[in-house]
Amino acid sequence: MPPNLKKALIVGAVGLVLFFLITQPTESAGAVHAVLGWLQEGAEALVTFVRALFE
- Residue pLDDT, tens place only, 31-54: 999 999 999 999 999 999 999 999
Confidence of residue 3 (pLDDT cuts 50, 70, 90): confident
Total domains in the chain come to 1
Supply the range of the domain harboring residue 38: 3-54
Nearest-angstrom CA–CA distance, 38 and 27: 17
Residue 16 is predicted with a pLDDT of: 93
Q: List all residues 6 or more positions away from 20 whose beta carbon is below 8 Å from its beta carbon.
A: 27, 28
What percent of the chain shows pLDDT beyond 90? 84
